[in-house]
Amino acid sequence: MIRVDQIWLAVEPMDMRAGSDTALARVVKDFGAVRPHHAYIFANRRANRMKILVHDGLGVWLAARRLNQGRFVWPRAGQLHVELTDEQLQGLVIGLPWHRMGDSGIIDVI
């Protein structure tokens, strides 16, 4: 339905009361611009809620997800943002350790 070419995860928390305009401003601040067909993911401080902003080339979509138990696996501060693969995004939204999926999970030394 919506084409997404790149997925970006913002490391710093965002207030989940933010609407689409506030989320857009945050993306411009953190990433420099809101690019078509890119998704930008934010979490709250406790990492039990997330919002995903997607620019589809014509407008923006803002989706929210909440875990009733547990937390999303979120990177620690130090980086401004992280690029995710589609496989890692699928793991992230259901609460799996996404940072171990894809090429990051390859074992090449015994």
Could you report the per-residue pLDDT of 68-105, keeping only the tens digit for each?
888 888 877 666 778 888 888 888 888 777 777 766 55
Least confident window among 27-36, 54-63, 65-74: 65-74
User: HSE of 77 in the Cβ direction (CA atoms, 13 Å)?
Assistant: 3
Q: Is residue 56 part of a domain?
A: yes
Alpha helices, DSSP H only, in the chain?
Answer: 20-31, 86-93
Q: Is residue 24 part of a domain?
A: yes
- Going by the DSSP 8-state scheme, the letter that residue 18 receives in this structure is -
Q: Is residue 35 part of a domain?
A: yes
pLDDT band at 43 (very low <50, low <70, confident <90, very high): very high
Number of domains composing the chain:
1
Percent helix, percent strand, percent coil in the chain, to nearest 5:
25, 30, 45
Q: Is residue 68 part of a domain?
A: yes
Q: Is residue 110 part of a domain?
A: no
Where in the sequence is the domain holding 76, given as residue range(s)?
Answer: 6-105
Q: Is residue 61 part of a domain?
A: yes
Q: Is residue 1 part of a domain?
A: no
